[in-house]
Structure 1
Amino acid sequence: MHKGSLVMAIIWMAVISLVLFWLPLVGPLLAGFVGGRTAGGAGRGLLAAILPALVLCLILAAAGASLTGLPVIGAIASISLFLVIVIQGFPLLIGAVIGGLTV
């Protein structure tokens, strides 16, 4: 059984989300569906949806702390971005599970 590509799933999710940003619910749902199918399974689809968000939040926390010299500023920026990503990411996660289950 072919497992799919996690990297390609992340790329497809990002590209489709950027192209369909003007569709608030349908855009991320479709991006998650395509990414979940590309990843090859529901678990791998969820990983492809969550991994970039975590990496981006860690990079933002480090950049915010190093640029301001205050780790609290980096933590606040990272937490606020993570909340925005989670709110926007519910349809992406649901689409990734549905897409992963249809493989």
Structure 2
Amino acid sequence: MKILLTSVGRRSYLVKYFKEIIGINGEVHVSISSDLNPAFQCADKCVIAPSIYEDSYIPFLKKYCIENQINAIISLFDIDLPILAANKKLFEDIGLKVIVSDKTVINICNDK
């Protein structure tokens, strides 16, 4: 299994956890919009992605996932969730699972 953790930030411990669970037959990929990132040191592969606010963000993720045969996307940043939820079908159409709640649930949770 190959997973992509988006907006990974400084969450190196989560990258290590996923690598341990997936084992030697899988890969943990990480993405964020800055190259100054400690989590890049722990991942199998890393990529600098456009900002989540840029129109090119979703096409970039889709292309990256296809090229690297990613099976699932998990976001580690709550701001990323509505964008991924809104585009969930786009990823499912190419056989990729986006681990995210429905947009309605995300909107309820963000309305604090």
- Same-fold call, TM > 0.5? no
TM-score for the superposition, normalised by structure 1: 0.29
Q: Which has the higher strand share?
A: 2
Q: Which is greater in Rg?
A: 1
Greater fraction helix: 1
